[in-house]
Amino acid sequence: MPEGIEIELYRLAAERAVGRTITAVHAPDDWFLKGGLTARELTGALLGQRVEGTRRRGKLLLLDLSNGVHLGLRFGMTGRLIVDHEAAIEYLEYSSQRSDPAWDRFGLTFADGGHLLIRDPRRLGGVLLDPDEDTLGVDAFGATLADLRRRVFVGDVALKARLLDQARVAGVGNLIADEVLWRAGIDPARAAGSLTDTEQRRVHRQLRAVLGDFLRDGGSHTGRLMPARVRGGRCPKDGAELLRRQVGGRTTYSCPVHQH
């Protein structure tokens, strides 16, 4: 599903919108407009504006417009970004592999006839006007060990819940979290503040490694743990049957043998 990795790939695709002028806004689904936003208000803010640049913070994609408006796009777990009829990512874990125009929840048309649109079967994404970006923590791609020590490795809450907390570190989703802790050999249910210095370094190093690998390989579904994330799946490292449970409210797979 779209985690920080996928949103970064979406951002790269959205770069093609930079310099183009919005001539039509497609907002057929009020549910998809967040923060009390109406289709009329949104259209008024976007029409005639040029896209000046793209940014990403965690799982939030931002289009900066010529009138100073920041358009925020969220993709939930099933949202795709399509630019000029080309999907930024073809395969999306947990989403439908079909692509139905009926799932178009939001779209922009540019003066040259091109389009940018969100196709989201489950409607878990959304569109925001000038979102408060400060509710998101430091972006996972740039998070230093010091950042993690200050924001993640604290308290009695399960470490995985901390990693998924977007206000602390933004961009880590369920698959990234499981992969990082599996590689680092840390039990996801461990209290976030209980890690030794060495363990903290391992988690930070593996977070950077996982983000790099996933970006290179094209998505958060490309992890080494991923094929084993099924009931009865076995650890690719040592063959032990993986533990399946809820941690931080999310389905969590971990190895009872090498994750402590």
Task: Characterize 24-45 residue by residue with b for buried, 16 or more Cβ atoms within 10 angstroms of its Cβ, and e for exposed.
Answer: ebbbebeebbeeebebeebeeb
SS3 9: helix
CA–CA distance, 151 with 207 (Å, rounded to integer): 15
Site string for DNA, 147-186 (x = CB under 7 A): --------xxxx--x--x-x------xxx-----------
Site for DNA (CB under 7 A): which residue of 30, 31, 85, 113?
31
Site for DNA (CB under 7 A): which residue of 129, 140, 248, 254?
248
Q: Is 162 a catalytic residue?
A: no
CA–CA distance, 27 with 43 (Å, rounded to integer): 8
Q: Is 3 a catalytic residue?
A: yes
Place of tokens 């806004």: 25
Site for DNA (CB under 7 A): which residue of 76, 137, 219, 223?
76
Q: Is 16 a catalytic residue?
A: no
From the list 56, 57, 59, 162, the catalytic residue is: 59
Is there binding between residue 190 and DNA (CB under 7 A)? Answer: no
The DSSP secondary structure of 15-41, one letter per residue, reads GGGTT-BEEEEE---GGGB-TT--HHH
- Reading phi first (left if > 0) and then psi (alpha if -120 to 50, else beta), residue 171 is in left
Site for DNA (CB under 7 A): which residue of 56, 59, 80, 119?
59
From the list 2, 121, 131, 188, the catalytic residue is: 2
Stretch that binds DNA, among 17-25, 41-49, 55-63, 140-148 (CB under 7 A): 55-63
Place of tokens 């209980």: 194
Q: Is 229 a catalytic residue?
A: no
Catalytic residues: 2-3, 59, 250
